[in-house]
Amino acid sequence: MATTRTLAAAAVCAALAVGAVTGCSSSGGFGDSPAAQASGGHQSLTVLIATSGEAETAAVKAATAAWAQRTGNTVTVQLASNINQQLGQAFAGGNPPDLFYVNSDQFANYAKGGSLYAYGDLIPDAADFSEQLRKAFSHDGRLTCLPKDSSTLGLAINTDLWKRAGLTEADYPTTWQQLADDAARLTGDGVTGLVTTPDYQRLGALMKEAGGWITDPGQTTMTADSPANRQALEYLRSLMKAGSAKYVAEVDAGWGGEALGKGRAAMTIEGNWLKGAMAKDYPNVPYKVLPLPAGPAGPGTLAFSNCWGIAARSTHRAAGVDLVRHLTSAEQQLAFAKAFGVMPSRTSALAAYAQRYPESKAWVDGVAGSQPPVTIAGFNQVLTQFNADLQSLRTGDPAAVLGALQRNGEQALKHAE
C-alpha cells in the first residue's frame, strides 16, 4: 500500500482537507450543476498517487499506459508529496485529478463533502472485494470506491536473533504470555525483544485481541474507554516497564522494519509492506512472519487499504470507472503484488497470491477476520491525538489515554451526524 511506513502521518493537513471538501455540493459536484461528461476515446485523465517508491510508480504507470493504449485515451500519473494536502487544495480549487488514492482516514471527509463519485453500483463483481474493506469505503450504505489492495499485521521475527537466544520454532508465541516470555528472553546486548511504532495502526491489534475496539461495528458509538482496551494497553505497558518492549524511536529507528533489519528488534508488529522493504533494504537479514499471538479474546489483526477515488467533478467519470476496473482486476492486482509487494483486495486474487507467496501466509490468513479502520468524518484528528498520547504510554495511565480518546471521539461523532 502507498502509506507503508508512515501510516500515522496520514492525518497531516486534515483540517485543510476537511475544510476543502465540505464546500462541495451534496449532489456530488461543485457549484450548482454537475460537470459535463466527456465520452468516447481521446480523453485525457489525470491520476494522483502517493507512491511507496519507484517500483509502485513504475507499476501504476505501466498499468495505466496499457489501459490508455487499449481505449485510445491518455493518462498522466502524478506523484503526491502529501496527498491529503494536495487533494484538499485541489478540491477547494475546483480542479481535482480524475482518479486518486484515498486514505482510509480521509475517506469519510471526502465522501461526506460530496467530493467523491460513488461508483460502487457500477461494479458487477464488487462482492469479490474484501467485505471489511468494502464496509470501510462505503458511505450512507453505498460502496463509494474500490479498495486498491489489502494489508494486515503480523509478528515479524529476526530468525538469527531468535536462534542466538536459544529459541526454536516450538517457542513461536501463540499467546500474549508466550509473547511476553519470548520478548524477555530476546532482550539484551543491544537487542529489544519487541519494538513497534506508537500508533493505533499497530497497537490497535492488541485492543482487538483483548475484545475491544475504538467504536462499535456500526461506527455510531464510542467504545474506547472499555476494560478490554485498558487490558491491552496495560499489557503493552508492562512489557515496556520490564524493558522487553520499546517504541522505534527508543532504538533509533524510524519504523519496525528498520529496527528489525538493523538487529535492534528481535520482533516487530508490521504489515505486508515489510516484505518489499526488507528485500530492498535488508536483503541478507533472515526473518519470518507469524500470526499475531492471540489475546484474551482470541486472535486479531487490523485491515488497511487505500481506495481508488474518482472525483465527483471529473468530466471523465465513465472512463474513470473503466480505468478503475482495469486497475483492480485480478490480473492487475497480482501484477501489482509482484511489482511492489501489496496483497490483492479481491478474494479470488488473494487466493492466487497465497499460493504464489507462501511466506506471506500469516498476513493472508489475517484478512478474513481483520478489523477495518475507523472511517468517520473528522475522526482523523481524534486518531492523531490518540497516537500522540500513546507515545507516553510507558509512564502514562492507560485509562487516561483511553478516556481522552473516548471524549474526543464522542465529540467527533456528534459533528459527523
Residue 65 lies in a domain: yes
Cβ atoms of residues 256 and 269 within 8 Å: yes
Taking the C-alpha atoms of residue 225 and residue 247, their distance in angstroms, rounded to an integer, is 23
| 212 & 163 share domain | yes
Assigned domain for 372 exists: no
Q: What is the torsional sign of CA 121, 123, 128, 130?
A: negative
Of the candidates 355, 356, 357, 330, the one whose C-alpha atom is nearest the C-alpha of residue 344 is 330
Grid coordinates in use for 65? Answer: 499506459
Computed from CA positions of residues 345, 68, 102, 314, in that sequence, does the dihedral angle turn out positive or negative? negative
> What is the rounded CA–CA span in Å between residue 33 and residue 94?
13
b (16+ CB within 10 A) / e for 141-177: eebbbbbbbbbbbbbbbbeebbeebebeeeebbeebe
**Whether residue 221 is found in the same domain as residue 330:** no
Give yes or no: residues 180 and 195 share one domain. Answer: yes
pLDDT in tens, the chain (417 residues): 434 343 333 333 333 333 334 333 333 333 334 567 887 778 999 999 998 889 899 999 999 999 999 999 999 999 999 999 999 999 999 999 999 999 999 999 999 999 999 999 999 999 999 998 999 999 999 999 999 999 999 999 999 999 999 999 999 999 999 999 999 999 999 999 999 999 999 999 999 999 999 999 999 999 999 999 999 999 999 999 999 999 999 999 999 999 999 999 999 999 999 998 899 899 999 999 999 999 999 999 999 999 999 999 999 999 999 999 999 999 999 999 999 889 999 999 999 999 999 999 999 999 988 999 999 999 999 999 999 999 999 999 999 999 999 999 999 999 887
Q: Residue 335 belongs to a domain with what CATH number?
A: 3.40.190.10
CA angle, residues 138, 143, 147, in degrees to nearest 5: 85
Q: Residue 397 has what DSSP assignment?
A: -
| Residues 337 and 234 both lie in one domain | no
Q: Which domain holds residue 281?
A: 153-302+378-416
2, part of any domain? no
Cα 244 to Cα 16, 22, 81, 266, 401: the distances in Å are: 40, 46, 36, 10, 22
Q: Is residue 1 part of a domain?
A: no
Question: Global pTM?
Answer: 0.87
77, β-bridge pairs: 47
Q: Quick check: 10 and 106 in contact, CB under 8 A?
A: yes
Give the count of domains, the chain. 2
Instruction: Kindly state whether residues 58 and 177 are assigned to the same domain.
Output: no
- Domain match, 250 and 390 both: yes
Q: Are residues 54 and 165 in the same domain?
A: no
Task: Answer yes or no: are the C-beta atoms of 284 and 278 closer than 8 Å.
Answer: no
